[in-house]
Homo-oligomer: A and B are copies of this chain.
Amino acid sequence: MASAATRSLSSLISHRRNPPSSSSSSSSSYHYCYAPTRRPITISVGSKTTRRPISIVAASSSSSPLAGAGADTDPNPTSAPAVSKNRRPADENIREEAARRRAEEEGLNGGGGGDCRHFSAWYAPFGSADGDGDAGGERYSLDEIVYRSRSGGLLDVRHDMCALARFPGSYWRELFDSRVGRTTWPYGSGVWSKKEWVLPGIDDEHIVSLFEGNSNLFWAERLGRDHLGGMPDLWVKHCGISHTGSFKDLGMTVLVSQVNRLRRAPLSRPIAGVGCASTGDTSAALSAYCAAAGIPAIVFLPADRISLAQLVQPISNGATVLSLDTDFDGCMRLIREVTAELPIYLANSLNSLRLEGQKTAAVEILQQFDWEVPDWVVVPGGNLGNIYAFYKGFEMCRALGLVDRLPRLVCAQAANANPLYRYYKSGWADFQPLTAAPTFASAIQIGDPVSVDRAVFALRATDGIVEEATEEELMDAMSLADRTGMFACPHTGVALAALFKLRDRRVIGVNDRTVVVSTAHGLKFTQSKIDYHASSIPDMACRFANPPVSAPKTVETGEDSIEEQINFFNLLPISD
């Protein structure tokens, strides 16, 4: 039965590099293909069928956000989007409501045209010529399952920028602002409130969202004032205060939504599940989104590296955690073979869909500053996809006229895993992969980053900088931030340590508006904090350790008079 399944699968696999008739070698560059005919992509924004509109604006709630957009050739939108709260009828759930809205829009517009807009996106090789006119170039539908370009390089999701640019920047600003707090599925999500820029082709009812995004842009008042020379405009984007506790949610909602879409398409054998090889945030996010959608998730891991504690999220979310008696390289080899032959989608770090979700954090930062551009954005870097995602979000806002410039990006690496830092120091002359040493910032302990080319592109385009942080520097920076009200993870510590250094060298000015990207919740990394505050880390001074204070026995037993007890308490270091 299994081999029959394998055979029927083989007929589905489209061998792009080799013609379909060639041998079934297990090369990992096969493109498992679906959707020979693509139906026109129709994006409809806002509802024409508001049942019980509760207008929160003075404008008419019946006007669609796109009503002012006019025809394709001359949109010239002048009126702002109306923000109408939309109550679905009691016999409908929010997915059914989304499906009904789409059906109504399509009926109204004959399946496209009218005042519905047509946006689209596709895969193209990273670094290839831009623009939607290169019909002759290599490109793939987002409905194809393809991880690398023909030459084995990275792919990039490209958007039809001409279609998007038919609307001025003010239109997009107002549209995105109008969706904050929207209860209409799926716009309550920080990612899907930018749906036209993320996955324009997906139907709303196929989206798998846990209301990711819209994360706190925290004003680091005390850290800036007390520890960075009176910096008044320092902010931390807390991407880790999220459903699974890390920024990976932003990308995973896009990847799993696309898989969900493909599973609903008329494939002869649908995608059976999604796989990854990760002990960390990726497997946690993948498992949660797959669990929410009812899609099987498989996590491949070397047996000797597995502890239940590391894996508590995927295990709890019902993923199949596969313990293999091999090392990480063996896992990766096996996962590539298996996903090339079996209909298991690969959620690895190559995947460019995830970056489409992650880039919305950049758009959100601009939105949270009322569309003013910060001077600096500091991002921790390991596999280096995220810094490119931030660049991409900022650059789309610039290209489409929402803002008029880019912030300067800083990529912060742990000194124990600093191949990009070394590359930067060589003037981008010589990239050398290395064997990363252990670091408390375990998620960025990567010596040969997949997305190095993406990162270099982002840094060159933004006059960017790469900085590094030793273990002591990153733990001290994390601990100092905690003292001012945060609960940072060690990766955020790397970014903060880079900020300290750049401030010391006066590269970042005291009045520069600066955003540090926090990538995970500190609750995921409590052991490193425990070790630090116990001063039990070898060769580290742990100078901000804050162990418990023991009161003298006489205080506790009440043998002292109340006045003597108070004398003790007055000695406590509780003054400012």
Given known pairs A180-B181, A272-B574, A546-B316, the reply for A556 and B85 (CB within 8 Å) is no
Q: Is the CB of A221 within 8 A of B93?
A: yes
As for how many copies of this chain the complex holds, the number is 2
| Cβ of A299 to closest chain B Cβ, rounded Å | 9
Q: Is the CB of B325 within 8 A of A556?
A: yes
Q: Give the nearest-CB partner of A567 in chain B.
A: B2
Given known pairs A3-B563, A317-B482, the reply for A323 and B94 (CB within 8 Å) is no
Q: Which of the candidate stretches A111-119, A242-250, A454-462 sits at the interface with the other chain? A: A242-250
Q: Which of the candidate stretches A143-151, A154-162, A441-449, A523-531 sits at the interface with the other chain? A: A523-531
Q: How far is the CA of A216 from the CA of B210 in the complex (A)?
A: 8
Chain B residues with Cβ below 8 Å from A575 are: 272, 296
| Cβ of A45 to closest chain B Cβ, rounded Å | 15
Q: How far is the CA of A142 from the CA of B361 in the complex (A)?
A: 40
Q: Contact partner of A315 among B93, B243, B486, B546, CB < 8 A? A: B546
Q: How far is the CA of A371 from the CA of B221 in the complex (A)?
A: 35
Q: Give the nearest-CB partner of A25 in chain B.
A: B562
Q: Is the CB of B243 within 8 A of A574?
A: no
Q: How far is the CA of A570 from the CA of B8 in the complex (A)?
A: 13
Answer yes or no: A306 CB below 8 A from chain B CBs: yes
Q: Contact partner of A342 among B55, B521, B566, CB < 8 A? A: B566
Q: Contact partner of A548 among B93, B174, B291, B306, CB < 8 A? A: B306
Q: How far is the CA of A293 from the CA of B485 in the complex (A)?
A: 8
Q: Which of the candidate stretches A195-203, A333-341, A426-434, A496-504 sits at the interface with the other chain? A: A333-341
Given known pairs A173-B54, A308-B533, the reply for A245 and B521 (CB within 8 Å) is yes
Interface residues on A, range: 35 or more
Interface flags, A108-133, vs B, CB<8A=1, else 0: 00000000000000000000000000
Q: Which of the candidate stretches A75-83, A351-359, A390-398 sits at the interface with the other chain? A: A75-83
Q: Which of the candidate stretches A56-64, A381-389, A406-414 sits at the interface with the other chain? A: A56-64
Answer yes or no: A52 CB below 8 A from chain B CBs: yes
Q: Is the CB of A369 within 8 A of B183?
A: yes
Q: Is the CB of A298 within 8 A of B2?
A: no
Q: Is the CB of A572 within 8 A of B320?
A: yes
Chain B residues with Cβ below 8 Å from A482 are: 291, 316-318
Q: Is the CB of B233 within 8 A of A93?
A: yes
Q: Is the CB of B296 within 8 A of A555?
A: no
Q: Is the CB of A58 within 8 A of B56?
A: no
Answer yes or no: A177 CB below 8 A from chain B CBs: yes
Interface flags, A299-320, vs B, CB<8A=1, else 0: 0010100101101110111111
Q: Is the CB of B321 within 8 A of A177?
A: no
Chain B residues with Cβ below 8 Å from A232 are: 93
Given known pairs A243-B487, A308-B534, A312-B530, the reply for A177 and B56 (CB within 8 Å) is yes
Interface flags, A326-347, vs B, CB<8A=1, else 0: 1000100110011001101000
Besides the known contacts A57-B80, A180-B181, 6 further A-B residue pairs in the complex with CB atoms under 8 A apart: A54-B177, A57-B58, A86-B370, A292-B484, A293-B485, A338-B569
A-B contact pairs, 18 of them (CB 8 A): A3-B563, A54-B370, A56-B177, A57-B57, A58-B58, A183-B369, A214-B214, A222-B293, A238-B243, A241-B243, A272-B575, A288-B485, A308-B534, A309-B530, A315-B529, A315-B547, A321-B549, A326-B556
3 closest Cβ pairs, A-B complex: A292-B485, A180-B181, A58-B59
